[in-house]
Amino acid sequence: MSGQPRIAPSILSADFSKLGDDIAMCESGGADWIHIDVMDGRFVPNLTFGAKVIETVRKRTALTLDVHLMVVEPEKYFDDFAAAGASLLTIHAEAAPHLHRQLNRIRELGCRAGVALNPATPLDAVSEILPELDLLLIMSVNPGFGGQKFIPYSVDKIRRARLMLDEARSNAALEVDGGINRDTISSVWEAGADTFVAGNAIFSAKDPKAEIGVLRGLCGVTV
């Protein structure tokens, strides 16, 4: 792998009574992106938030807002989320049969476009549309909740995803999401991921601000 690791704290595990402070904490701790998990209670068995929260976070930071749509019919939200200040919209291949059209629509709206794959979904789901991808998100838990256990065989999937992107000369970010913590981050960095979502590991740490640097340090890169 090359380049610097990106750490993307997931605000799913933030304290919503002080969301603005938590965003500022992530920023001063050196977070690269802020990861925003949108769930609709249909694609996944949980409900979170929509455009209003994206807009609120956008007012507090200039960082990349990495919006992960765990929803059916994601195209219904593109316009509102782009207008709210999303930088990157990632949709699930399992929920989006017309990926080519949808990724292009995201880009037309001025956002970068990503595709997420559930643990059971093969990499083949994106092999025909690699030129359209700004980001490939490999789920290392079944989406829906924070604080779940990392699925160990995700490491091999990330290794194969890295090869697939390199062979296609793709510059897409390779992101991993779910169960990333002090014990798991170095294996996925070594496998070729470059962007790491972490919710529970950061917000439940004794010192959440410092934890961002600890996770980055475990990727073996000095910054």
Residues that bind ligand DX5 (CB under 6 A): 10, 12-13, 35, 37, 68, 141, 143-148, 177-180, 197-201
Q: Are strands 33-39 and 6-9 parallel, antiparallel or unpaired?
A: unpaired
Per annotation, catalytic residue among 32, 37, 40, 134: 37
Tell me how far, at minimum, the Cβ of 46 lies from ligand DX5, in Å: 8
Question: Quick one: what does residue 13 bind among ligand DX5, Zn ion, none, with the CB cut-off 5 to 8 Å set by partner type?
Answer: ligand DX5
Catalytic status, residue 207: no
Residues 6 or more apart from 178 whose CB is under 8 A from it? 139, 140, 141, 142, 143, 148, 150, 151, 154, 197
Residues 6 or more apart from 8 whose CB is under 8 A from it? 31, 32, 33, 34, 35, 66, 175, 195, 196, 197, 198
Stretch that binds Zn ion, among 74-82, 156-164, 173-181, 210-218 (CB under 5 A): 173-181
Q: Between 13 and 102, whose beta carbon lies closer to Zn ion?
A: 13
Residue 81: half-sphere exposure toward Cβ, Cα within 13 Å: 27
Among residues 6, 58, 68, 105, the one that binds Zn ion under rule CB under 5 A: 68
Question: Quick one: what does residue 5 bind among ligand DX5, Zn ion, none, with the CB cut-off 5 to 8 Å set by partner type?
Answer: none
Q: Between 102 and 200, whose beta carbon lies closer to ligand DX5?
A: 200
Q: Which residue has the tokens 């989406």?
A: 143
Q: What is the phi/psi pair of residue 39, to 5°?
A: -125, 140
Catalytic status, residue 156: no
> Which of 49, 44, 89, 42 is CA-nearest to residue 69?
89
Distance (Å, rounded) from C-alpha 165 to C-alpha 119? Answer: 18
Distance (Å, rounded) from C-alpha 33 to C-alpha 19? Answer: 15
Per annotation, catalytic residue among 22, 134, 177, 194: 177
Q: Between 108 and 201, whose beta carbon lies closer to ligand DX5?
A: 201
Question: Quick one: what does residue 56 bind among ligand DX5, Zn ion, none, with the CB cut-off 5 to 8 Å set by partner type?
Answer: none
List active site positions.
Answer: 37, 177
For binding to Zn ion (CB under 5 A), which residues are involved? 37, 68, 177
